[in-house]
């Protein structure tokens, strides 16, 4: 209704997001500087190897570690980050962190994105229905199952799936993204990829569904007790009309926030599930980098995670404003 | 037995209506053998404290009983036809086109995510089968009718004041041209000036559209201002029914008298308001006899054992042994 007000609302959300993003970048820098350990020593193969003090000093100078943290290193870090230069990996010698991340990103987006899509579609519908018919059979079953799934670690679900469908039944592969020797680009390779995808997607989706069911059910059961639902009934609307015209949009408000926030984790990957299935995504990369103390890679992943969460929050705010006129001012 | 005040055909007849609420096996009677008739264009105030059954009575008439309510006796007739008030689906076509409701505190009674014009137009589309354009045009007329500038139609409920929202609610209630409007404490959340404006609006609509009005309130002064007739409810029963003028001048039931005395009157110079002693009755475990007898200053022995029936007295009705006994005496002497 009020264009100027809505514009200002979006503007303030954007400004807040940019400020948060800058703080994430700075915090990310600080975090990796307070972690114990000398990068120069790590680069030369750890503290135990015999390295001369001259060699260490040469490394420090080479990477600019001899200069003060503030302002030199911060400024350098900020300007490099803004140009997309995230430094070089320790473990994968000579490889750029940005390239490593970009290489692993598609596998994670496919895995977590698909799992989110499935979980949102089924979880939200189930939750809304359970809340609409509170106390019914569907409600009891869905709520019980969701709480169980919600509280089960998804890596354990993943291991269970591997034991049942891969090891015992032998129906689906439980490891990696491709069978060895598959020629990429063929139809066979696509089917092979999808077969590899099935179990990890199921594990991640099952872990998420419970959350959506619980939130959607709670939102809907709040809505059905609202006065405007009594008004809708008094107006002679059918149950279907009451649900679609009056309950649905109000119940979706908290759900949309949850969806948008969860989308932030799509790029971060499902660390534990990816580890269980050796899925070549960001989650797997995180574990590898942790084991190798590959700080630059970890720093890059943290930045990606932080940035995607900020963007997800931005989307959540904008979507909420679109759905709920009360927050637009 | 139907009481129809001053003759004329009844628009609505409530006949011996009893409604129970079931709560985990415990059943409590919310209204008990409520009977009254309403003529077209008549304004009746339904007065009582919380739990007296006034809202249940009104919701039963509007076909809006909650799922845990059970109609355990009696019926409601609209223009002579029995309403299926205990059948949610069968009641649907009757809702809003015969009886509509102006709910209390229109903030929450309006859907926060829809523009008000859309909410007013909705019943026109769904119940009257109008096109979107026709319904919007009608909604504009209705807005104008209740005194809201039509360009405010695109506002959301939270952008309007309490009084404006109540006007929107009234416009919405008029959408399907009903003949009865139930006001469920329509002015409770409003300041005195806005309250007066809303009551004035309801009064104007009533005379222009020949609407019957059932005004639920615990505020007798609201009734005095805007109703022809008042029914006092206590513990699920009507205890007194009569014209506003008569009841205020000469209340017959002790409860009515105490209610009227408890109205603060700055003009009389009384400093303190006089509350009614005691607590409202427990509906699950109601007192034997007249439900009011534990609080009644005029209680007699019979009041604790026998439920007084609602009998005609003068031009109204009253359910009190004080008046029954005098009638009986008359009968004995005659």
> With 80 as the cut, is the pLDDT of residue B81 above it?
yes
**What is the reported pLDDT for A329?**
61
Percent of chain B's residues with pLDDT above 70: 91
- Taking an 8 Å cut-off on Cβ atoms, the answer to whether B112 and A324 are in contact is yes
User: Comparing B66 with A328, which gets the higher pLDDT?
Assistant: B66
Distance CA B11, CA B81 (A): 10
Q: Which residue in the set B92, B100, B113 is minimally distant from A323, CB to CB?
A: B113
Superfamily of domain A90-327: MetI-like (1.10.3720.10)
Out of A231, A241, A249, the one facing B109 most closely (by C-beta) is: A231
Chain B residues whose beta carbon lies within 8 Å of the beta carbon of residue A237: 92, 122, 126
- One digit per residue, the tens of pLDDT, for chain A of length 329 reads 456 777 888 888 899 999 999 999 989 888 888 887 777 777 776 555 677 888 888 888 887 888 888 788 888 888 898 888 888 888 887 899 999 999 999 999 999 999 999 999 999 999 999 999 999 999 999 999 999 998 988 889 999 999 999 888 989 888 887 777 777 777 888 888 889 999 999 999 998 999 999 999 999 999 999 999 999 999 999 999 999 999 999 999 999 989 988 888 887 768 889 989 989 999 889 999 988 888 889 999 999 999 999 999 899 888 888 888 888 76
Nearest of B15, B67, B65 to residue B37 by alpha carbon: B15
C-alpha A254/C-alpha A195 separation (Å) is 34
Q: Would the CB atoms of A325 and B158 count as touching at under 8 Å? A: yes
Cβ of B113 and A230 within 8 Å?
Answer: no
- In chain A, residues with a C-beta closer than 8 Å to the C-beta of B90 are none
Tell me how long chain B is. Answer: 334
Q: Which two tokens stand for residue A35?
A: 């972690």
Query: Are B96 and A236 inside 8 Å of each other by CB?
Result: yes
pLDDT of amino acid B72: 92
Cβ pairs bridging A and B (under 8 Å): 73
Stated pTM of the model: 0.82
Query: How far apart are the CA of B1 and the nearest CA of chain A, in angstroms?
Result: 29
pLDDT above 60 for B330: no
| Interface membership of A227 toward B (CB under 8 Å) | yes
d(CA A93, CA A115): 33
DSSP string of B249-284, one letter each residue: HS--SHHHHHHHHTS--GGGT--S--PPPS-PPPST
φ/ψ region of A316 (left if φ > 0, alpha if ψ in -120 to 50, else beta) reads alpha
Report the 10 Å Cβ neighbour count for A123: 29
The ipTM, to two decimals, is 0.86
Task: Say if residue B254's pLDDT is above 70.
Answer: yes
CA distance A265 to A262: 5
Find the helix or strand (DSSP H, E) in which B221 lies. Answer: helix B220-226
- Mean of pLDDT values over B152-167: 92
**Residues of chain A with C-beta less than 8 angstroms from the C-beta of B62:** 234
Measured between CA atoms, how close is B315 to chain A, in angstroms? Answer: 34
For residue B331, what pLDDT band results from cuts at 50, 70 and 90? Answer: very low
Residue-level pLDDT at B189:
77
Q: Do A230 and B172 touch (CB under 8 A)?
A: no
**Residues B307, A24: Cα–Cα separation, whole Å:** 75
Rounded to 5 degrees, φ, ψ at B188 are -60, -45
Please state which of the ranges A11-25, A74-88, B5-19, B290-304 shows the lowest mean pLDDT: B5-19
Percent helix / strand / coil, chain A, rounded to 5: 75, 0, 25
Question: Which residues share a beta bridge with B15?
Answer: B75
The verdict on a CB contact (< 8 Å) between B123 and A236 is: yes
User: Are the C-beta atoms of residues A255 and A246 closer than 8 Å to each other?
Assistant: no
């Amino acid at each position: 209704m009020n264009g100027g007000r809505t514009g200002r609302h979006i503007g303030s959300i954007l400004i807040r997001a940019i400020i948060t993003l800058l703080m994430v970048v700075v915090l990310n820098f600080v975090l990796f500087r307070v972690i114990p350990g000398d990068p120069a020593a790590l680069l030369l193969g750890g503290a135990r190897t015999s390295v001369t003090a001259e060699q260490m000093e040469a490394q420090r100078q080479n990477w600019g570690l001899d200069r003060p943290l503030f302002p030199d290193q911060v400024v350098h870090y900020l300007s490099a980050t803004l140009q997309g230069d995230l430094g070089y990996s320790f473990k994968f010698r000579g490889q750029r962190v940005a390239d490593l991340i970009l290489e692993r990103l598609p596998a994670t987006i496919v895995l977590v994105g698909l799992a989110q899509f499935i979980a949102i579609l089924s979880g939200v519908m189930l939750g809304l229905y359970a809340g609409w018919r509170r106390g019914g059979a569907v409600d009891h079953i869905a709520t019980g199952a969701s709480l169980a799934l919600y509280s089960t670690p998804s890596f354990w679900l993943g291991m269970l799936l591997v034991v049942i469908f891969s090891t015992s039944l032998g129906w689906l592969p439980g490891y990696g993204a491709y069978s060895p020797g598959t020629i990429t680009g063929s139809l066979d390779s696509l089917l092979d990829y999808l077969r590899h995808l099935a179990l990890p997607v199921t594990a991640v989706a099952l872990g998420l569904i419970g959350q959506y069911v619980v939130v959607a059910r709670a939102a809907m059961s709040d809505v059905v007790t609202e006065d405007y639902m009594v008004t809708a009934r008094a107006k002679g609307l059918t149950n279907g009309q009451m649900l679609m015209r009056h309950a649905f949009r109000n119940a979706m408000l908290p759900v949309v926030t949850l969806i948008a926030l969860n989308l932030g984790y799509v790029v971060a990957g499902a660390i534990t599930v990816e580890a269980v299935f050796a899925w070549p995504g960001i989650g797997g990369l995180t574990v590898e980098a942790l084991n190798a103390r590959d700080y630059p890679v970890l720093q890059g992943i943290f930045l990606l995670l932080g940035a995607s969460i900020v963007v997800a929050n931005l989307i959540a705010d904008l979507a909420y404003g679109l759905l709920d006129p009360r927050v637009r001012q | 037995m139907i009481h129809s005040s001053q003759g004329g055909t009844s628009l609505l007849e409530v006949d011996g209506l009893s409604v129970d609420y079931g709560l985990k096996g415990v059943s409590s009677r919310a209204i008990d053998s409520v009977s009254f008739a309403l003529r077209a264009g008549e304004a009746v105030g339904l007065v009582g404290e919380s739990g007296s059954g006034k809202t249940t009575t009104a919701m039963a008439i509007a076909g809006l009983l909650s799922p845990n309510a059970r109609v355990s006796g009696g019926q409601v007739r609209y223009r002579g036809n029995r309403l299926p008030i205990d059948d949610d689906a069968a009641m649907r076509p009757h809702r809003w086109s015969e009886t509509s409701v102006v709910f209390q505190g229109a903030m929450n009674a309006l859907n926060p995510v829809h523009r008000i014009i859309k909410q007013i137009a909705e019943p026109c589309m769904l119940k009257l089968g109008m096109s979107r354009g026709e319904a919007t045009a009608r909604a504009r007329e209705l807005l104008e009718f209740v005194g809201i500038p039509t360009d405010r139609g695109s506002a959301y409920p939270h952008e309007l004041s309490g009084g404006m929202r109540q006007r929107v609610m009234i416009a919405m209630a008029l959408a399907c041209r009903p003949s009865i409007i139930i006001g469920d404490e329509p002015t409770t959340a409003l300041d005195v000036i806005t309250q007066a404006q809303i009551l004035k609006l309801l009064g104007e609509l009533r005379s222009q559209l020949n609407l019957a009005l059932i005004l639920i309130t615990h505020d007798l002064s609201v009734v005095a201002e805007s109703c022809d007739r008042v029914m006092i409810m206590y513990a699920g029963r009507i205890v007194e029914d009569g014209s506003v003028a008569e009841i205020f001048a000469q209340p017959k039931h002790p409860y009515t008298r105490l209610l009227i005395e408890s109205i603060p009157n700055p003009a009389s110079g009384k400093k303190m308001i006089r509350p009614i002693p005691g607590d409202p009755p427990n509906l699950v475990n109601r007192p034997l006899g007249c439900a009011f007898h534990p609080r009644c200053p005029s209680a007699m022995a019979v009041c604790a054992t026998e439920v007084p029936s609602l009998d005609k007295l003068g031009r109204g009705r009253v359910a009190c042994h004080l008046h029954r006994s005098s009638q009986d005496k008359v009968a004995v002497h005659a």
